[in-house]
Chains A and B, each alone.
Chain A
């Protein structure tokens, strides 16, 4: 168990900067998620913590030890790889016991740990099988087991669920969360799947182009994204973005886009005055666009009439693809909505939960 601290860490591959000046503190026993699109530097960051990539600049501490020059084997970490990386010539038992054997653990202790981990993961009956005789899910469990038996200070997981099918992924997601509760170990988990990020982690680190965009608890990031990238990346369906202009009419703050004009709560956007009569990006999540039929006492200043282009029934809810003027957006409304493609429909923009971003910097205006 240990905290991990990255201080101004930079990684360059030739002239390409993969990670730039990353500073990050991961608390002891924390489940931290590194999330971002492909090439954002999240895996490189993880690999630097593992010692599989050298650091170009900066320092990494595991516990109180500076590990910049310490080889992976002496960092007391365990890693689960995206493609499992099981040793094909060893059976499941030996795959799991390999690390312990190298560390010269006594045989009874190895046996106890391997069986204990196998029991937790439900793979006791597979111990004599070779990896090629296992299914994807079973291989994934073995890879996890190999990490668990080591009882390391820090678990590093590099997209461990991305090769599983959707159903298994959901199941393993819950199991990993349970495992973290049980093991009480620091976990750094890399994923490009924002659902995994939202559901599993204590905190999320959103990365883009080698830069840390925002660090925070999942709901904090969801509700208060620092910039348009974070706002768009976290959440499914993604946040709607519309080009708009801020207006001040009397004492009221309004946002005007092509096709609609709605009033904004001034208290929520204190810095908005700097942007009056300027172009901004207006962001609103699909669930914050409400169906007027189900919001009878809606403020008339928040009602927008839009054309219904497509509806996607999801069972419990319907995604309604709307357009008004140049702008199109998605609303996530009640399954019983009367919105039908080819008709117009009235929706309510819940501007209490809307977001504004600077057009140039894409930084959040609050």
Chain B
């Protein structure tokens, strides 16, 4: 028979062994995860850093033998040229107006339409939803001509309004689907409680449903903004006046017939990324899960 103390020591040893094995396994797992994440970060961030680096280079060279991110003789000349010698601020302003308006109008239309699709039963509801989905299946190029014809006939050629309508056509159906799906998860009892508390249906929508749908609204807003902000093809067809150019059109002007001012081009790329980054940072606070937690017994 093994004495009690010896038995305990053997047990402790076994326990310690298992413990250290588990610890080692967790460490390896964590290291693997970190490695993958670091590689992913490098893949995502490196190109942007290269663009920053090119924008800081003196001259217009795209390629360099140096791998350093801050080039020798780094200068802000390209930024100065872009802002003061080119129409960059006008392009940026045009893009901002069109994108922000697309977001606001798109969200207003989508938020209300999606609520109707989510909460009420009406003739054509199903068909309407399917139709909205179908519009997303058409390649954007296919819509160019019909939208162009409509815009010309409505005298909206070369106008902000025309651009905003055209972009909304693309983003609203997606936003409706997204928001409808989210509204479906908001319990009806919350609205009923508000109705009994003294709210009318519109107040219930604005005070209860919309605040709870903030994450979905943020995503829909981001999507609409990105659609309008980065769009080139539609703008190329619908805008002829240089003073109306959005930045993707304006960028083309940075390319001459024989040369491209890569330094200025890169500086512009960095600057147009800033509003998008700010928007992502701002909206990230809304992109929280579980906003409706706690309202109802789960």
Give me the interface of A with B, judged by CB distance under 8 Å. 50-52, 71-73, 77-79, 81-89, 98-99, 102-103, 130-134, 136, 139, 146, 150, 156, 163
Contacts and interface: CB of A to CB of B under 8 A. Distances in A.
Given A52-B192, A81-B192, A87-B208, A130 B197 contact: no
- Name the 3 nearest CB pairs between A and B, nearest first: A132-B294, A131-B294, A99-B197
Contacts of A132: 290, 293-294
A83 B293 CA distance: 12
Given A84-B296, A86-B193, A86-B295, 6 more contacts: A51-B196, A85-B192, A86-B294, A89-B211, A99-B197, A130-B294
Contact of B297 (A84, A89, A156): A84
A72 B207 CA distance: 17
A325 to B, nearest CB: 46
B38 to A, nearest CB: 35
B295 A84 contact: yes
Interface stretch (B61-69, B198-206, B220-228, B264-272): B198-206
Contacts of B193: 79, 81, 85-87, 146
A213 B212 CA distance: 42
B152 interface: no
B200 A71 contact: yes
Contacts of A84: 295-297
Contacts of B190: 85, 87-88
A77 to B, nearest CB: 6
Contacts of A82: 297
Contact of A88 (B194, B207, B291, B297): B291
Given A88-B212, A88-B291, A89-B211, A83 B296 contact: yes
A139 B193 CA distance: 14
B292 interface: yes
A156 B193 CA distance: 11
A131 B294 CA distance: 5
Contacts of A133: 294
Contacts of A98: 194, 197, 207
Contacts of B194: 87, 98
B136 to A, nearest CB: 31
Given A83-B187, A85-B189, A163 B196 contact: no
B195 interface: yes
Interface in B268-297: 290-297
A73 B202 CA distance: 13
B295 A79 contact: no
A139 B200 contact: no
Contacts of B296: 83-86
B295 to A, nearest CB: 4
12 contacts: A71-B200, A72-B192, A73-B196, A79-B192, A79-B193, A83-B297, A88-B212, A98-B207, A132-B290, A132-B294, A150-B197, A163-B297
Given A81-B189, A81-B193, A83-B189, A88 B199 contact: no
A84 B187 CA distance: 11
A73 B197 contact: yes
A80 to B, nearest CB: 9
A78 B198 CA distance: 9
A99 B297 CA distance: 21
A150 B295 CA distance: 20
Contacts of B290: 132
A88 B294 contact: yes
A87 B195 CA distance: 12
Nearest to B197: A99
Contacts of A136: 297
A85 B187 contact: yes
- Which of A89, A98, A99 gathers most chain B CB within 10 Å? A89
- Which of B192, B193, B194 gathers most chain A CB within 10 Å? B193
A132 B292 CA distance: 9
A134 B200 CA distance: 28
Contacts of A71: 195, 200
Nearest to B292: A88
A89 B291 contact: yes
B263 to A, nearest CB: 48
A77 B198 CA distance: 9
A78 B197 CA distance: 7
A354 to B, nearest CB: 42
Interface in B214-241: none
Nearest to A164: B297
Contacts of B212: 88-89
A85 B207 CA distance: 14
Interface string B105-146: 000000000000000000000000000000000000000000
B295 A102 contact: no
B21 to A, nearest CB: 38
A78 B195 CA distance: 10
B294 A78 contact: no
Given A88-B293, A139-B294, A99 B208 contact: no
